[in-house]
Structure 1
Amino acid sequence: MALRPVQVNIKALDHSAVGRFWAEALGWSVYSGESGETTYVGPAGGLVWPDPVAVGVDVVAVPDPKTQTKNRVHIDLATTSAAHQTELVAYLRALGATPAHVGQGDVPWSVLADPEGNEFCVLEPREVYRDTGPIAAVVVDCADPRAMAHFWGETMDWALHEVSDDHAVFRSAEDVGPYLEFLRTPDVKTVPDRVHLDLLPHPGGDTAAEVNRLRFLGAIDLDLGQGDVPWTCLTDPEGHEFCVLAPY
């Protein structure tokens, strides 16, 4: 039994402020974590976790600010028209987003950073993202998309839509919600990940068995000083951090 991505985990000095930003950006709601050190952002209408379609955003308090190094994981936002893209960029800047320069050059999408510097993109309208909801894709920089397609294809129950030397694309088996994309870049990991994916077994799943299966596939245990917690921190074969949460 494979895992499913349920949320994008973002580290922040001020988890409440960053959580509110992402809630406004996505048109979603803020739900405070029981510990008081996390802010979960999910679709409006009352907390449903895990959401059956959306991949939520979980903002977690940490003591250290983001470095100047570009994150290797970011969110792409969908738009429905050129006017919508322009309006959304203006709205996000009014919320506190700032233009970000990551070597993108002259491209049809806009690169911004949230109030703590986490980069994200506001895409021009693309037909492939017309039904994803506000998050078009979660994008992961990598050196070898084919290798990532193999590891993550075995890790998740999501379907592989496309793979090449330059990128690999996944979406849920039900073909709903955002995409997960691995994009070949020349960058290498130099700092701990500020943004990562959290995965969850299906109801009745065995977290320990899943973690052992991932270790066999090439995942490596990661000690972040997390102590005795009900989730397991790992890295994939290229060093991308992720967590396997306890089943609900």
Structure 2
Amino acid sequence: MDSRPDSRLVNVVVDADDPVRLAHWWRQALDWRLGYADADETDVVPPEGEPGIELVFLHAPGTKQGPNRVHLDLDSSSPADQRETVEFLLDLGARRVDVGQGNAPWAVLADPEDNEFCVLDPRPEYDGTGRVAAIVCLAADPPAQARFWSPLAGMSVVRSSPRVAALRGAGGPYLEFVASSTPHTVKNRWHLDVRATAHGRGRDRVLADARDAGARHVDIGQGTGVSWTVLADPEGNEFCVLSGTTG
């Protein structure tokens, strides 16, 4: 029996007032490179051979309402590396923010459009993830969210508790679900894209399985002529199932 996944996580998509400017900021922040770009989209991708996941910046102006439900955690290799990374990002235009982290060992910053992210203290479990250690999603029920997302993202559940559940694939960042009592109330400004795999059972099967697991179709203004399908997971977080296939 083929145990390879039917779909994989392929992008983190960022709504931006100025996608070109924000993409260039994240390119410098991560020391990555620019990928595909057109009038509507600017991508930032890891250097050749480095693990990671594409960041896709789209023009979608709107007022940010509270902390994002999806954010990135950046890795560090030592306390000195963490301090130097934070200083570099502050010089680049980030700012420190308080999201109730208290005296946590990680630093919480915001990019030029106020999107929160963390620079983690050194943690051996993130060795080999690349610059982005984890894609973090707030969740009312982390274990349930991990079970829902595991087949969609093509990742295995590697940690699960009421406070945090984590998925990991063959390489690249973790996908983590962290307990939060704050419900989803407005469209997320950061969301995930998945795509059917070339060896899987096809995009229609991915969509059907997602719906059977609790996803629902949502209208975020995408219209009828687009090639992707917009769904919401069981906690209301929007995501897209793209056309085509991936490896």
Superposed pair shares fold, TM > 0.5: yes
Q: Distance in 1 between matches of 2:74 and 2:232?
A: 26
Map of 2:41 onto structure 1:
38
Give the equivalent residue in structure 2 for 1:16. Answer: 20
Of 62, 65, 68, the residue aligned with 1:64 is 62
Q: CA deviation at 1:15?
A: 0.1
Percent of paired sites with the same residue: 41
**What secondary structure is seen at the aligned counterpart in 1 of 2:57?**
strand
**TM-fit CA distance, 1:204:** 5.8
What's 1:219 paired with?
215
Name the SS for the 1:80 alignment partner: coil
Matched, 1:151 2:148: yes
TM-score by length of 2: 0.92
CA contact (8 A) 2:15 2:189 kept: yes
Q: Compute the displacement of 1:65 (Å).
A: 3.5
State how many pairs are aligned: 239
| Cα distance change of structure 1 residues 107 and 135 upon mapping to structure 2, 3 Å threshold | same
- C-alpha distance in 2, partners of 1:99/1:108? 14
1:241 is aligned, of 224, 238, 241, to 238
What corresponds to 1:54 in structure 2? 52
Counterparts of residues 45-194 of structure 1 (less than 5 Å): 45=48, 53-67=51-65, 69-172=66-169, 174=170, 176-194=171-189
How much does 1:208 deviate? Answer: 2.6
Provide, for residues 33-86 of structure 1, a one-character-per-residue CA deviation record: whole Å limited to 9, x for no partner.
Answer: 23x1111000134xxxxx99421111111132423x100110000000111111
TM-score (norm 1): 0.91
Question: Residue 197 in 1 paired to residue 169 in 2?
Answer: no
Unaligned 5+ segments in structure 1 are: 46-50
Q: Which of the numbers 203, 206, 212 marks the counterpart of 1:207?
A: 203
Q: Which runs of 4+ in 1 moved over 4 A?
A: none
User: What's the counterpart of residue 48 of structure 1?
Assistant: none
What amino acid sits opposite 2:218 in the alignment?
A: L
CA 1:55/1:62 → structure 2, altered by over 3 Å: closer, same or farther?
A: same
Q: What SS does the aligned partner of 2:158 have?
A: strand
Q: Could you say what secondary structure the match of 2:234 adopts? A: coil
Q: 196-205 or 24-33: which moved more? A: 196-205
SS across alignment from 2:23: helix
Q: CA RMSD in A?
A: 1.6
CA distance in 1, matches of 2:87, 2:28: 13
- In 2, Cα distance between the equivalents of 1:197 and 1:104? 25
Whole-Å separation in 1 of the counterparts to 2:220 and 2:54: 22
Deviation at 1:131, TM superposition (A): 1.2
Structure 2 residue matching 1:92: 3-state secondary structure: helix
Equivalent residue letter for 2:182:
D
Partners of 1:124 and 1:19 in 2: how far apart?
25
Residues 69-78 or 198-207, more deviating? 198-207
8 Å contact kept, 1:12–1:65: no
Alignment of 1:2-13 (within 5 A): 2-13=6-17
